[in-house]
């Protein structure tokens, strides 16, 4: 212990404060354990309907409690006996708290399991407050060693990196399941690519002589389906899947899972918006949702802009960009129409005007053009719905931006569990309304 008087005539205030803080913390932890133990005993008395040293005969056999015998599966309070206490040590943000949990046994000899509302689980070492803090640090993108350094400032024993990693992966198990019957009218579907490290099958020795597996970087897609309620503007991720490729088979597996959730046209689905990928379109031809398909206008217009060619070499680069934008405005003007017949007339005018000078752009315009008009029919049936939710996948793209930010911060993920935990956390945060991308 540090000396209180570092030299004659002065007082070491820092040491005095440290000693007082340690003593106060030990007293708080001890009092916390005593209070929790007393509260548990009081709750068990209320549950059993009798206090200690009261005979079981005073309770009728019809009284059932929220506890069950492992052997006979009985729930009758009359059959349960007290069998002392056992110590349970839980690591919290305040320190290691020792809680004495009352043990119950059945007259058949089996042990009785109490309903603890998810707390004091078997072999539970970390408290709920500490696990919540670890998950919040994970949301702030702190590394495992940074978390370890933060925990070192608390009055608890150090946690291993493996323990912290396991707690972060438990986010995946706590993911919220889709709400039954909550079928969105609009479904936006897209994929985002992330980097992952996978073993190559070969090994090498590091500087300390340990054998390490060689790994390589690969790109993997994450399929995401976002449900949108256009009348209120509410959006929610209804399904997602980590896949190996973005071909028709992988998309077919994902879309089948979405359909299995009950998201179909006869349940309220009106429109499916996608970017027009070959694998996705092939899968949509097999899985029939019974809803109209809308080609994302943002992706369509982006392809049109890249297909425009300015071949006049006499123009400067700035003048060429100005001419390309002028041509692009004529194409973009098609979808600014309020009615479908007006948009078709503008389409014919643009095709006649540019079919000889801009053949690539006209070919890109006419390809899957009918799917870019599906939102007109939906808007006619629901005039109060905003068109911004019916024409593009922009809402899903904004959510994907948060995933890309997390993936780039990590550079590369070493396992499926770490990658899935990250996606689970972002999805849960978004669906809970705490994230507004």
Q: What's the whole-number mean pLDDT along residues 64-89?
A: 81
Q: Is residue 436's pLDDT more than 60?
A: no
- How far from chain centre, in Å, is Cα 289? 25
Q: In terms of pLDDT, which residue wins out, 297 or 101? A: 297
**Phi, psi at 374, each rounded to 5°:** -65, -30
Q: What does the pLDDT read at residue 328?
A: 93
Question: Does pLDDT of 31 surpass 80?
Answer: yes
Please determine, for residue 176, whether its predicted confidence score (pLDDT) is greater than 50. Answer: no
| pTM, full prediction | 0.64
Integer-rounded Cα Rg, in Å, for the chain is 32
3-state secondary structure of 296: coil
Q: Provide the pLDDT for residue 359.
A: 92
Contact 407, 195 (CB under 8 A): yes
Contact 429, 138 (CB under 8 A): no
Residue 410 has pLDDT above 90, yes or no: no
* pLDDT at residue 69, as a whole number: 86
Mean pLDDT of 175-191: 72
What is the per-residue pLDDT across 193-238, written as a single tens digit (0 to 9) for each?
999 998 898 999 988 889 989 999 999 999 999 999 998 888 999 9
- CB-CB contact of 100 with 86 (8 Å): yes
Tell me the C-alpha distance between 332 and 341, whole Å.
16
User: Would you state the structure tokens that stand for residue 24, as one six-digit string?
Assistant: 């106060």
* Mean of pLDDT values over 346-370: 91
Predicted confidence at residue 93, as pLDDT, reads 80
Which tens digits make up the pLDDT trace of 231-265? Answer: 888 899 999 999 988 899 999 999 999 999 889 98
Residue percentage of the chain with pLDDT more than 90: 34
| Residue 181 confidence (pLDDT) | 45
Give the residue-averaged pLDDT of 40-45.
Answer: 82
pLDDT at 351: 93
Q: What is the C-alpha separation between 208 and 406, in angstroms, rounded?
A: 32
Mean pLDDT of the 313-332 span = 90
Residue 399's pLDDT band (cuts 50, 70, 90): very high
Residue 156: pLDDT band (50, 70, 90) is confident
Of the two residues 291 and 82, the one the predictor is more confident about is: 291
Is the pLDDT at 406 greater than 90? The verdict is no
Report the alpha-carbon distance of residue 417 to residue 148 in Å, rounded: 20
Assigned token pair, 156: 């608890």
The residue among 114 and 395 whose pLDDT is bigger is: 395
Evaluated on CA atoms 330, 336, 338, 340, the torsion sign reads: positive
Q: Quick one: pLDDT at residue 375? A: 92
Instruction: Say yes or no to pLDDT of 177 above 60.
Output: no
- Give pLDDT tens digits for 364-385: 999 888 889 899 999 999 999 9
Name which of 243, 132, 136, 227 is nearest 178 in CA terms. Answer: 227
Instruction: Tally Cβ neighbours within 10 Å of residue 363.
Output: 11
Q: Which is more confident, 420 or 59?
A: 420
Q: What is the pLDDT of residue 119?
A: 64
Mean pLDDT, the chain, integer: 84
The predicted pLDDT at position 283 comes to 93
For residue 437, pLDDT over 60 is answered with no
Q: CA–CA distance from 157 to each of 96, 126, 395 (Å)?
A: 8, 11, 44
Are 423 and 430 spatial neighbours (Cβ–Cβ below 8 Å)? Answer: no
Q: What b-and-e string marks burial along 188-210, b requiring 16 or more CB atoms within 10 Å of the CB? A: bbbbbebebebeeeeeeeeeeee
What pLDDT shows up at residue 291?
Answer: 92
Question: H helices within 187-316, ranges in order?
Answer: 248-260, 278-284, 297-307
Q: What distance in Å separates the CA atoms of residue 416 and residue 196, rounded to the nearest whole number?
A: 8
Give the pLDDT mean for 92-107.
Answer: 84
- pLDDT > 70 fraction of the chain, expressed in percent and rounded: 90
For the chain, helix (H) and strand (E) counts, in that order, are 14, 9
Q: Which helix (H) or strand (E) segment is 39 a member of?
A: helix 13-48
Extract the tokens encoding 31.
Answer: 């009092």
Task: Dump pLDDT digits (tens) for 271-316.
Answer: 999 998 899 999 999 988 989 999 999 999 999 999 999 888 888 8
């Amino acid at each position: 212990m540090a000396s209180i008087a570092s030299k004659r005539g002065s007082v070491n205030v820092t040491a005095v404060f440290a000693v007082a803080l340690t003593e106060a913390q030990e007293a708080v932890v001890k009092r916390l354990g005593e209070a929790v133990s007393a509260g548990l005993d009081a709750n068990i008395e209320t549950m059993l309907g009798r206090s200690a040293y009261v005979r079981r005969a005073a309770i009728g056999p019809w009284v059932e409690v929220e506890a069950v015998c492992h052997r006979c599966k009985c729930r009758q309070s009359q059959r349960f006996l007290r069998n002392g206490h056992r110590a349970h040590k839980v690591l919290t943000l305040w320190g290691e708290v020792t809680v004495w949990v009352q043990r119950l046994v059945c007259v058949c000899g089996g042990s009785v399991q109490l309903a603890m509302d998810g707390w004091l689980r078997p072999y539970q070492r970390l408290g709920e407050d500490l696990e919540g803090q670890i998950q919040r640090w994970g949301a702030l993108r702190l590394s495992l060693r940074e978390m370890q350094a933060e925990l070192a400032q608390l009055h608890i024993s150090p946690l291993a990196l493996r323990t912290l990693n396991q707690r972060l992966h438990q986010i995946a198990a706590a993911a919220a399941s889709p709400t039954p019957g909550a079928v969105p009218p609009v479904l936006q579907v897209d994929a985002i690519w992330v980097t992952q490290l996978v073993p190559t099958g070969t090994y090498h020795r590091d500087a300390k002589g340990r054998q390490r597996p060689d790994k390589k970087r690969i790109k993997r897609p994450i399929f995401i389906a976002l449900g949108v309620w256009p009348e209120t503007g509410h959006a929610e991720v209804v399904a997602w899947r980590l896949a190996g490729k973005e071909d028709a088979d992988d998309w077919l597996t994902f879309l089948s899972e979405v359909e299995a959730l009950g998201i179909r046209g006869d349940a309220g689905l009106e429109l499916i918006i996608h970017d027009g990928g070959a694998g996705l379109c092939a899968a949509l031809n097999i899985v029939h949702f019974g809803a109209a398909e809308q080609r994302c206008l943002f992706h369509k217009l982006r392809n049109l802009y890249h297909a425009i060619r300015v071949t006049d070499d006499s123009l400067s680069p700035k003048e060429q960009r100005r001419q390309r934008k002028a041509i692009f405005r004529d194409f973009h003007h098609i979808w600014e129409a309020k009615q479908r017949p007006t948009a078709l007339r503008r389409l014919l005018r643009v095709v006649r005007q540019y079919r000889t000078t801009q053949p690539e752009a006209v070919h890109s315009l006419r390809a899957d053009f009918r799917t870019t008009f599906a939102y007109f029919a939906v808007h006619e049936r629901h005039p109060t719905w905003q068109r911004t939710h019916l024409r593009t996948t922009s809402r899903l793209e904004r959510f994907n931006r948060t995933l890309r930010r997390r993936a780039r911060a990590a550079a590369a993920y070493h396992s499926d569990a770490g990658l899935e935990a990250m996606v689970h956390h972002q999805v849960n945060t978004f669906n809970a309304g705490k994230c507004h991308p």
